[in-house]
Amino acid sequence: MILLEGANGQGKSNLLEAAYLLAIAKSNRASMDREMVRSEARIGPQPHAQILAHLTLADGDVRLQVDFSPSGNSGNPHSEAETATSEAAIFHKSFRVNGVGRRASSVVGVLNAVMFGAEDLELVYGTPSIRRRYLDILISQLDDRYLRSLQRYHKILAQRNHLLKRIRHRSASADELQFWDVELIAEASFIIEQRANTLASLNDIVAPLHSELAGVDDMLELVYRPSIDIPQEVTVDVAAEILTEGLADERSREIAQG
């Protein structure tokens, strides 16, 4: 166990944020990358900030780093640009593993970490989207296929929503939805299966731990209840069939709402 001790404002939370960013390629607190760079560093002659970690993993030692640099200074073709309205208008967040530039999605899972803070009570009291986010972060660290599928899902969903607006304004045909429906169902069914399987695996772990810690006969159970009605032991094929029927039933309403 490592215990961090210090007065307020000395950087304890910043250190935890930095470690977690290396694990999931995003900050758990900042909404924009520039918020993680001190104002002095943003306006200096060579604006730059870096997080660097030397990891000892089962497969060997790994050097993991993320650099924050203004436009044109990242030196990494996989850097992610962010437009802002501060001293540095555009900042790049770039990742390297053992000195080699990597995309953010390929960095997730190199270092596995779980962050717990006071805001995590939102898991119980918050909206379903918050619970999905925590589950997505967990699975993405374990399986890069899930992360790629999740990214494709959001892109397809955005394209499909744009098409629905065009159909509503009569600038596109409803027949064009078929392609995007097939693409959406393929990704969504995989995501649903993985979420259900992960919660089933977690149940095997947390149920006995809860009984041991709580000292009561009550059993803790995690149940996956998405917006569609699916069996707990769902497969990709079953999820795809249910999603296909659901999209067909909702098509008229979706087109009307755009």
For position 177, which CATH number holds?
Answer: 1.20.1050.90
Q: Are residues 135 and 245 in the same domain?
A: yes
What residue numbers bound the domain in which 242 lies? Answer: 118-257
The structure tokens listed for 253 are 């309403």
Q: Where are the beta strands (DSSP E) in the chain?
A: 49-57, 60-70, 80-83, 90-97, 100-102
**Residue-level pLDDT at 71:** 65
Residue 224 DSSP SS3? coil
Residues 122 and 103 in one domain: no
Res 253: pLDDT: 86
Range in 80-84, 145-149, 200-204, 211-215 the model is least confident about:
80-84
- Domain final residue pick, 72, 107, 142: 107
Do residues 205 and 171 both lie within one domain?
Answer: yes
Number of separate domains in the chain: 2
Two tokens, residue 102:
């990597």
- Does 131 reside within a domain? yes
* Range with lowest mean pLDDT among 21-30, 39-48, 238-247: 39-48
Q: pLDDT at residue 82 above 50? A: no
**Lowest-confidence region among 34-48, 90-104, 157-171:** 34-48
Domain boundary among 85, 107, 129: 107
Over 90: is that where the pLDDT of 78 sits? Answer: no
Burial class (CB in 10 A: 0-12, 13-18, 19+), 193: buried
Q: Hey, is 215 helix, strand or coil?
A: coil
242 and 189, same domain (yes or no):
yes
pLDDT-derived band at 88, boundaries 50, 70, 90: very low
Model pTM score: 0.78
Residue 5 lies in a domain: no
Cα–Cα distance list, 108 to 15, 60, 88, 140, 181 (Å): 18, 17, 27, 7, 28
**C-alpha atoms less than 13 angstroms from C-alpha of 196 in its C-beta half-sphere:** 19
The verdict on 130 and 190 lying in the same domain is: yes
Highest-scoring range by mean pLDDT, 10-19, 154-163, 227-236? 154-163
Same domain, 78 and 200: no
pLDDT of 85 above 80:
no
Statement to judge: residues 54 and 164 lie in one domain? no
Contact by Cβ (8 Å): 123, 99: no
Q: What is the pLDDT of residues 203-256, one digit of tens each?
A: 989 988 888 888 777 788 888 999 888 888 899 999 999 999 999 888 888 888
Q: Is 36 inside a domain boundary?
A: yes
Amino acid at site 180: W
For residues 17 and 130, state if they share a domain.
no
Domain end, chosen from 81, 107, 133, is at 107
Mean of pLDDT values over 12-26: 91
**Percent of the chain whose predicted confidence (pLDDT) is above 70:** 90
Residue 184 shares a structural domain with residue 135 = yes
In-domain check, residue 96: yes
Q: Which residue has the tokens 């009561």?
A: 216
Structural domain contains residue 220? yes
**Angstrom distance (rounded) from CA 99 to CA 78:** 13
| 93 and 192 in a common domain | no
Q: Is residue 101 part of a domain?
A: yes
- pLDDT, residue 179, reads 95
Query: Do 96 and 158 share a domain, yes or no?
Result: no
pLDDT of residue 258: 67
Asked whether residue 190 is assigned to any structural domain, the reply reads yes
> Does one domain contain both 136 and 99?
no
Is 3 a domain residue?
A: no
pLDDT in tens, 94-142: 999 999 999 999 999 999 998 888 888 888 899 999 999 999 999 999 9
Q: What's the pLDDT score for residue 31?
A: 76
Q: Over the stretch 183-210, which tens digit does the pLDDT of each residue have?
A: 999 999 999 999 999 999 999 899 888 8
74 or 123: whose pLDDT is higher?
A: 123
**Mean per-residue pLDDT, 165-173:** 90
Provide mean pLDDT across the span 44-48: 75
**Residue 236: predicted pLDDT:** 95
